[in-house]
Structure 1
Amino acid sequence: MLLSLAILGTAIFCMRLTRETELDQRMCPVSGPVGQFVLLVDKTDPLNFTQKHAFQASLEQLITQRVPTGYLLSVFVLDNDYTATARPLLEECNPGDGTGKSEMNANPAHLKKRFEQRFREPMLQLANELEGKQPAKFSPIFEMLELSSINGFRKQNVTGPRHLIIVSDMLHNTPQYSMYRGNFDFERFHDSDYGRKMTADLTGVEVEIQYLLNTPKLQNRRHLKFWEDYFAAGGAHIVAVRPLEG
């Protein structure tokens, strides 16, 4: 009887462990991602030499240190034509790299290999696609923020913590509205026909801006205040602004 109970207990433990570690095709928990990061990278201006290295280091850190196990990472690119970049380049969950796992109830080497092949390497291979090769005519930041909300956060409907990281100079430039004219009055923008259509629903999202200082004379406190008001209007808030070196 004792032997039978021991076997039954082991079987139940293994079944629970399997359910807890079972993943879907995107390496997400079968019960759904426990949180989400959306990365939006602006490639409308080429990165200079230093910015390129800073961006690659930031991307590596995001993938290996910042996105927790079970979180979904959705990567979008901002380019001249937002209709061509409406959907994420890649969406994958961090399956975990085996850190802290014991040989008694897991295979840390297998987990590490899976992490490298299914998450880290595919994400890092996107670096070239995320870096602009020549200046673009337009920089439709508002439109891409809406699409990142629709096809990123809203489509996945992740109930856990949600984070948006934007790598950009944040200088929106389209025929309807250009920040290169020094237009940083959010209330005036928000009251315009174009502005009323361009407010993204980002309720509960924490926003981090990795600031490309390509035009410092325009990227001042008034510029950042515009974006603080913009995200607040959409239900989000900026938690960090980090100038990218270069």
Structure 2
Amino acid sequence: MRQSRAAAKRRTKSFILVCVLFTFITLVIGGVTYAFLHQPPGLDQQRFCPANGPLGHVVLLVDKTDPLDFTQKQAFQSSLEQLVTGGVAPGYLLSVFVLGEDYKANAAPVFERCNPGDGAGASAFTSNPAHLKKRFEQDFRGPMQRVADELQATKSAKYSPIFEMLEMTAINGFRKQNVNGPRRLIIVSDMLHNTPEYSMYHGNPDFERFHQSDYGRKMSTDFNGVDVELQYLLNTPHLQTRRHLKFWEGYFGAAGARIVAVRPLEG
């Protein structure tokens, strides 16, 4: 009788163990299946954007009409690194435009790719973090670093067509890509427009007067819903006053955008 009870206990323990093991295997299979069925769509192999399109759009416009001094160059490189490693979320598209003397020659972006993600926080169970990190370095951060030299001038330009280049970023950046998600415009510039039609080096800029002029109406564009960040190159501080910033607040406000951050670069 004792042997029968002992055998019954062993059978009960074995049954419980089998049930626990079966439940564990079921949960593992269910987790893997869920992760497989709910994993994000793959990336296209040209721009490394999600197959369903970018999740957001960051446009960077860099002014190279004047050379950067040593301190400005250090600040710019640091700012660029911060943008690439933390300012563009995974799945977001980064488009980079150059502001040069000839806006027609700079109408297209010099860099345009999505951040494929660097694998930070990725589960080794459902992905390959090392592979994701390598892809980020080779296909996003590395190419962007190589473009950095193209964003810096070696000599001063005669003109600085900021309004025309802003039109290019609106047309060939935001409008062309038509990303359904957050949109942000980052401008690295002294924001001192200078062309034969209009120059901020003469007199105090007044947006309402400019906006009502023929040239001002011609330079109107659409940045509806765009958040704007100004990274000021303080090349001419006596012109880059609160009144100067107010001009740009009026400009972007009329275009449907808003300035959300103003940060002078050192130097």
Same fold flag (TM > 0.5): yes
Asked whether the equivalents of residues 32 and 126 of structure 2 are also in contact (C-alpha less than 8 Å), the reply is: no
2:230 corresponds in structure 1 to 209
Note closer, same or farther for the CA distance 1:218–1:6 as it changes in structure 2 (3 Å cut): closer
- The correspondence for 1:98, drawn from 96, 110, 119, is 119
- The correspondence for 2:101, drawn from 80, 85, 90, is 80
1:218 corresponds in structure 2 to 239
Q: Deviations over 1:69-90 (max 9, x none)?
A: 1000000000000000000001
- The correspondence for 2:86, drawn from 56, 65, 68, is 65
Unpaired segments ≥5 residues, structure 2:
1-21
Q: CA deviation at 1:29?
A: 0.4
Q: Deviations over 1:31-61 (max 9, x none)?
A: 0001010000000000000000100000000
Structure 2 CA distance for aligned equivalents of residues 181 and 158 of structure 1: 38
Structure 2 CA distance for aligned equivalents of residues 239 and 104 of structure 1: 39
SS of 2:225's equivalent? Answer: coil
1:152-231 aligned at under 5 Å gives the runs 152-231=173-252
2:146 corresponds in structure 1 to 125
Q: Which has the larger radius of gyration?
A: 2
Note closer, same or farther for the CA distance 1:55–1:4 as it changes in structure 2 (3 Å cut): closer
2:3 corresponds in structure 1 to none
TM-score normalised per structure 1: 0.94
Asked whether the equivalents of residues 182 and 218 of structure 1 are also in contact (C-alpha less than 8 Å), the reply is: no
Matched pairs, number: 243
2:8 corresponds in structure 1 to none
1:14 corresponds in structure 2 to 36
SS of 1:150's equivalent? Answer: helix
Note closer, same or farther for the CA distance 1:53–1:9 as it changes in structure 2 (3 Å cut): closer
TM-score normalised per structure 2: 0.87
Q: CA deviation at 1:199?
A: 1.4
Structure 2 CA distance for aligned equivalents of residues 141 and 231 of structure 1: 13
Structure 2 CA distance for aligned equivalents of residues 4 and 218 of structure 1: 69
2:14 corresponds in structure 1 to none
- The correspondence for 1:232, drawn from 232, 237, 253, is 253
- The correspondence for 2:43, drawn from 4, 10, 23, is 23
Structure 2 CA distance for aligned equivalents of residues 6 and 172 of structure 1: 61
1:39 aligns with 2:60: yes
- AA at the equivalent of 1:65: G
- AA at the equivalent of 1:23: L
Asked whether the equivalents of residues 51 and 244 of structure 1 are also in contact (C-alpha less than 8 Å), the reply is: yes
Q: Percent identity?
A: 68
Note closer, same or farther for the CA distance 1:110–1:21 as it changes in structure 2 (3 Å cut): farther
Asked whether the equivalents of residues 45 and 132 of structure 1 are also in contact (C-alpha less than 8 Å), the reply is: yes
SS of 2:201's equivalent? Answer: helix
Structure 2 CA distance for aligned equivalents of residues 132 and 15 of structure 1: 49
Structure 2 CA distance for aligned equivalents of residues 114 and 7 of structure 1: 28
Q: CA deviation at 1:6?
A: 8.4
Q: CA deviation at 1:16?
A: 3.5
Q: CA deviation at 1:112?
A: 0.2
Structure 2 CA distance for aligned equivalents of residues 5 and 217 of structure 1: 67
Q: Deviations over 1:179-200 (max 9, x none)?
A: 0002411111111110001012
- AA at the equivalent of 2:36: C
